[in-house]
Amino acid sequence: MRRHLLFLFAISCLGQLACRGSRSSMCPEGMSLDDTHSRPAQFVWCRDRDSKRAQYIEFQPGGKDKRQMCDFRDGRAEGRFVAWFPNGKVWLSGQFAAGRPQGRWSQWDKSGSMAAEGEYRDGRFVAGAPVASSALCDKLHPP
């Protein structure tokens, strides 16, 4: 009986570690899952220890595959943005700086072919196609 209980305890602990590992693997290294402000299978917020950096990850319906992801620093979109089609191929990608689109932004079609590119400076569209207008990050505010 004692061996049986010990075995069940060991299996329980390993199961908890496996679950914890898979949840934290959603977040980049140095960040942890913000359970309070996340809705697993819909979206998650990850943040670093001092809450200066955050990352938002939204999932496709069904909750397995990513729909979009963006990075934040000091409460504003800062860094990369990526959005995916339900088939897993990239739809949009670009960068934010100080909460505004910056640099080259790209858009692909569902087959993976380049559909459009646009250039942004200080949040203003300057050339190509205005693809960054489809991004959600500049409208989000980390909790």
CA distance 32 to 116: 35
Domains of the chain: residue spans and CATH: 29-139 (3.90.930)
Q: Give pTM, 2 decimals.
A: 0.78
Work out the number of other CB atoms within 10 angstroms of the CB of residue 68: 21
pLDDT tens-digit readout, 51-80? 899 999 999 999 989 999 999 999 999 999
**Helix, strand or coil for residue 16?**
helix
